[in-house]
Amino acid sequence: MYIEFDSTFCNGNTHINEASLHRSISSLRLPVLYKNYEIAWLLKAISCIDLTTLAGDDTFSNVSRLCIKAVNPVSHVILSTFAENKIDLGFLNDIQVAAVCVYPARVADAVKQLKLLNSSMPVASVATGFPTGQYPLTTRVDEIAFCVENGASEIDIVLDRSLVLGGKWQELHEEVSKMKKACGEAHMKAILSVGECGSPENIYKAAMACMMAGSEFIKTSTGKESVNANLPAGLVMCRAIRDFHRKTNTKVGLKPAGGVRVWSDAFPWLELVKEELGREWVEPHLFRIGASGLLQDLEKRLYKLATGVSAPSTFFKQV
């Protein structure tokens, strides 16, 4: 939903008490999870992953392996063990990740492999001068167009952080609006780069400017900053999403990325979103986790719950 720039969304009087913010996060309590409930949480986390490879040596081969793993994220050994133990979680056998995420040059590779797998899984691509955004707007917009032409249905854009640090919210809104227009029918995820925004207030206002410009998701980080996804920033973003929903009746998704590496990192994000935004937001259309190594750790935890022993180091092949 695009909204003409309205300065009341980025009010200069916005103030966030950082001490209170951290107290709220420290009081976040995960429920005690018994076996089947923990399995359900692990599977929920898997279903919300944007399985990502953003390496300089990416090739068709490793993008193909990524796609195969994305469509079949849980080992047959784990699935069969659950079946033998009569653990039935409904969608267990049909589980897959939410999307695969690659560089623009690899979008066509991912689209081709997913087609061979008869999968309708979306392909996401980072764009707009990832990870810095320090490129002319025309080239950033052209990069989005290239991704869409090659089959990407989700675009993860990066912001010009100088606009955030300078408090130029209308200019930021205008840039993001142009990027959203270039996305066409593709969904847009706006990466705020929370570790480089300067303050919680800037995170909130940047989130508001991006949501007004039509972004379907706001995302914490590129994964390349020194400070990436963190729960205090996530709480600020959840509050921005909640305020935006109250003002516009539009639901915007959240995507933490960077630093969510093990299953115990993922669970607090699920709980935060559920508590702040509601159960509906803990679904792939409104919640994603950008990660490359997280899936393997979630699968290791499932292996231990299924078999009672830790997975041997040779059991999993790194995607």
pLDDT in tens, 231-278: 999 999 999 999 999 999 999 999 999 999 999 999 999 999 999 999
Q: What is the pLDDT of residue 86?
A: 65
Q: Is 219 a catalytic residue?
A: yes
Q: Is the pLDDT of residue 57 over 50?
A: yes
Q: Are 144 and 182 in contact (CB under 8 A)?
A: yes
Name the pLDDT band for 18 (thresholds 50, 70, 90).
confident
Q: Chain-wide mean pLDDT for the chain?
A: 92
DSSP β-bridge partners for residue 187: 154
Q: Is 304 a catalytic residue?
A: no
88: CB partners within 8 A, 6+ apart: none
Look at the block and give the residue holding tokens 């996401």: 124
The mean pLDDT of 94-105, rounded to a whole number, is: 95
Q: Is the pLDDT of residue 89 over 70?
A: no
Closest Cα partner for 158 from 176, 184, 173, 185? 176
Task: Give the pair of three-digit tokens for residue 310.
Answer: 């830790």
Beta strands 49-52; 217-219: pairing state = unpaired
Q: Which residue of the set 180, 255, 300, 317 is catalytic? A: 255
> CA torsion angle for 50, 129, 229, 153 (degrees, to 10)?
-20
Using CB atoms within 10 Å of the CB of residue 256, give its burial: 0 to 12 exposed, 13 to 18 middle, 19+ buried: buried
Q: Is the pLDDT of residue 88 over 70?
A: no
Across 5-19, 30-44, 156-170, the highest mean pLDDT is recorded for: 156-170
Where do the domains of the chain lie?
32-307
Q: Is the pLDDT of residue 101 over 60?
A: yes
Across 13-17, 34-38, 204-208, 302-306, the highest mean pLDDT is recorded for: 204-208
Superfamily of domain 32-307 in CATH is Aldolase class I (3.20.20.70)
More confident residue, 19 or 43: 43
Q: What is the pLDDT of residue 170?
A: 96
Taking the mean position of all CA atoms in its chain, how far away is CA 158?
Answer: 13
Phi, psi of 168 (to 5 degrees): -90, 70
pLDDT in tens, 159-187: 999 999 999 999 999 999 999 999 999 99
Q: Which residue of the set 219, 224, 300, 304 is catalytic? A: 219
Q: Is the pLDDT of residue 318 over 70?
A: no
pTM for this predicted structure: 0.94
Q: Is the pLDDT of residue 319 over 50?
A: no
Q: What is the pLDDT of residue 109?
A: 98
The mean pLDDT of 85-109, rounded to a whole number, is: 84
Q: Are 203 and 192 in contact (CB under 8 A)?
A: yes
* Identity of the residue numbered 129: G
Look at the block and give the residue holding tokens 């290239």: 146
